[in-house]
Structure 1
Amino acid sequence: MKMKLLSPMNDFVFKALFGREDATSKQLLIELLNDTLRAKGEDLIASVKYLNPFNYKEYEFDKLSVLDIKAETEKGERVNIEVQVKPEVSYRKRSLYYWAKTYAETIGEAEPYEELKKTIVINIMDYDAIHESKKLHTHFKLLEREEHFTLTEDLQIHYLEVPKLAEAKQIEALEGIELWIAFLKEAGKAGNEEKIERLKRRSESMSKVIESLETVSADEKLLEAYRAREKARRDEISKLAYAKKQAKIETAEKAFRNGADLDFIAEITDIPLEELREIEKRVKSQQN
């Protein structure tokens, strides 16, 4: 019986694959980075050192922390990679903030601005984040609007949008960054074993990363930490959903007390009519 693979789009699993302080993980990270940069004609990376290497014990008591990968290249450039599964309205600003914060960290207080180093932020998205483009890989820099020359090479922000990988494109026709996106999209899904085997045969990088995912998926300590993190996230989602529901109920109660129409309250709260009628009865009984 084939072992069930965990999804590499889970940030915990992603960091276990690409953020561990070992030769395989580091090599996979370099290859992923270089395929991302090569696709846009950017300078490639020869080596990296982790600034926040993966250690599952760190998340035992902080199960809701952001699990990004921070690394430094041989030139002192900074790289930040983050996986985002759920849509977030302010994500573009957040991404720019992460770039600015990381960029500022490349010099000390007494150092001149010339010592600031290029900072590359890579966002791997499991939803359509850049609505203006159909491309699965968008690349942002600081450019003069009319003549399009670069103000500085120090800013690079990449978006890799997993859902935009063309369904019709065969695995055998994928190249470079498309292969990585196919791996992120397909691995960990039930019934995809044949696709994963085909990906494995495409390149040495794909073979390595799938073997690493198999190792991560079979590690009991990692699984325990992963499950605890998932439970904490589900609990947090439930709390937020409950809080939103209570806020809607309070809005409906206030509207009924002020004499608002049932249909109007249904429109502003999105609460089903049957439930609203119960709320209306409760409000009226309290008023009597």
Structure 2
Amino acid sequence: MLVAILNIEESELKELKIINNELPRQFQEDKKGILDVRAKTKDEKEINIEIQVLATKYMAERTTFYWAKMYTNQIKSGDTYDKLKKCITINIVDFECIPLDKIHTSYHITEDETGYKLTDIFEIHYLELAKLENKNIDKDENLAITQWMEFIGLKSKEDMEMLAEKNEDIRKAYDLLQVMSKDEKSRMAYEAREAEIHDQMTRIKTAREEGINIGIDKGINIGIDKGANDKAIKIAEKMIKRGDSMEDIVDITELPENKIIELRNKYLH
């Protein structure tokens, strides 16, 4: 999959290895900072592959933030800049977040007019699974990437087997999944992850319904009426305590971000 996404030779990944899959959390709500896969190539390039199933309003900002953490964590005080190696972030998301008619987009730092690449250390990819259903998007531009995205998004064993017949690399991945599915620890980890996703979606739905009820009771926007604003603050406090993300709290309460930061500092310090 990495060969297809990064357009590189397989030999570059011969010494690919999984390293620590968790970044230090800065705040309580940084649950989404957990990386699904963190890897290095034989020439020390770092790769962060993250699968995100819940829509996030500030996806670009969040991605850049965690890319920066991965990049700056490579050196310590007194080290020279030549120790910094290229960092690549690959986001596989189950929602649309880029307003372009492409299922795979990639980004670098380039000069505005000439397209000259300032440095090769920055590289971010988005693979948007939701766009696979869009008939207006050319999915044959890079068939290998499309097939990997379809494989990730498939639910039935029969569909997986059909796709595995078309792509030898996907066949290897499918065979490995068959082995893993029989391993109790792997199955328990998958079920725990699914439960956490369902719990988080339920918390967001409940908080959103509470916010709607506040608006109905007051008949005006949350941010204008003082009484409603007090209730919005209480909802924000509750969401902070249980670890909801900044974007979810802003979306539900409609409070300004600086107010949520103030509340977060109050409860987390």
TM-score class, shorter: 0.5 to 0.7
Tell me, in whole angstroms, the C-alpha distance in 2 between the residues paired with 1:126 and 1:182.
11
Q: For residue 121 of structure 1, what is the aligned residue in structure 2?
A: 89
- 1:251 is matched with which residue? 215
1:98 maps to 2:66: yes
Asked if structure 2 preserves the Cα contact closer than 8 Å seen for 1:64 and 1:232, the reply is no
Q: Is 1:156 aligned to residue 123 of structure 2? A: yes
Matched, 1:215 2:179: yes
In 2 relative to 1, CA 81–254 (structure 1 residues): closer, same or farther, beyond 3 Å?
same
Q: What CA distance in whole angstroms lies between the structure 2 residues aligned with 1:86 and 1:216?
A: 25
Percent identity between the two aligned chains: 32
> CA shift at 1:166, angstroms?
6.5
Q: CA-to-partner distance for each residue in 1:57-81, whole Å, 9 max, x for gaps?
A: xxxxxx9873421112211111101
C-alpha deviation, 1:113, in angstroms: 1.4
Q: Quick one: higher RCO (CA 8 Å, sep 6+), 1 or 2?
A: 1
Q: CA deviation at 1:123?
A: 0.5
Q: What is the number of residues matched between the two proteins?
A: 209
Cα gap change, 1:177 to 1:75, in 2 (>3 Å) = same
Could you say if the C-alpha distance between residues 236 and 113 of structure 1 is closer, same or farther in structure 2, counting changes exceeding 3 Å? same
Paired letter, 1:215:
V
The equivalent of 2:36 in structure 1 is 68
Matched residue, 2:3: 34
Deviation at 1:158, TM superposition (A): 0.6
Q: How has the CA–CA distance of structure 1 residues 167 and 44 changed in structure 2, closer, same or farther, with 3 Å as cutoff?
A: farther
Cα distance, 1:209 vs structure 2:
0.7
**Separation of aligned partners in 1, 2:50 and 2:204:** 23
Q: Which whole-Å CA distance do the structure 2 matches of 1:65 and 1:220 have between them?
A: 26
- Letter of the 1:38 partner, please give it: N
1:228-257 Cα distance to aligned partner (Å, 9 max, x none) = 33233323332332233223323333349x
CA contact (8 A) 2:12 2:42 kept: no
- Name the counterpart of 2:249: none
Q: Structure 1 residue 198 and structure 2 residue 162: aligned?
A: yes
Q: How does 1:16-95 map to 2 (within 5 A)?
A: 32-38=1-7, 44-52=12-20, 66-95=34-63
Could you tell which deviates more after superposition, 75-84 or 230-239?
230-239
**Which amino acid is 2:131 matched to?**
K
Instruction: Please list the CA deviations of residues 2-55 of structure 1 after superposition, one character each: whole Å capped at 9, or x if unmatched.
Output: xxxxxxxxxxxxxxxxxxxxxxxxxxxxxx21111118x9x953422222269x
Structure 2 alignment gaps of length 5 or more? 23-30, 221-269
Query: Which residue of structure 2 lines up, in the alignment, with residue 139 of structure 1?
Result: 106
Cross-structure match for 1:285: none
Distance 1:178 1:222 in 2: 26
Confirm or deny: 8 A CA contact 1:137 1:158 kept in the other structure.
yes
> Counterpart of 1:165 in 2: which secondary structure?
helix
Cα displacement (A) at 1:150: 0.4
Q: Based on CA coordinates, which of the two structures has the bigger radius of gyration?
A: 1
**Counterparts of 1:153 and 1:137 in 2: how far apart (Å)?**
19
TM-score, structure 2 length as denominator? Answer: 0.68
Aligned alpha-carbon RMSD (Å): 3.1
**Relative to 1, partners in 2 of residues 1:210 and 1:92: Cα closer, same or farther, differing over 3 Å?**
same
Separation (CA, whole Å) in 2 of partners of 1:246 and 1:237: 14
Q: Is the 8 A contact 2:35 2:48 kept in 1?
A: no
TM-superposed CA distance for 1:173, in Å, is 10
Residues 85 and 126, structure 1, Cα contact 8 Å, conserved in 2 = yes
Matched, 1:180 2:148: yes
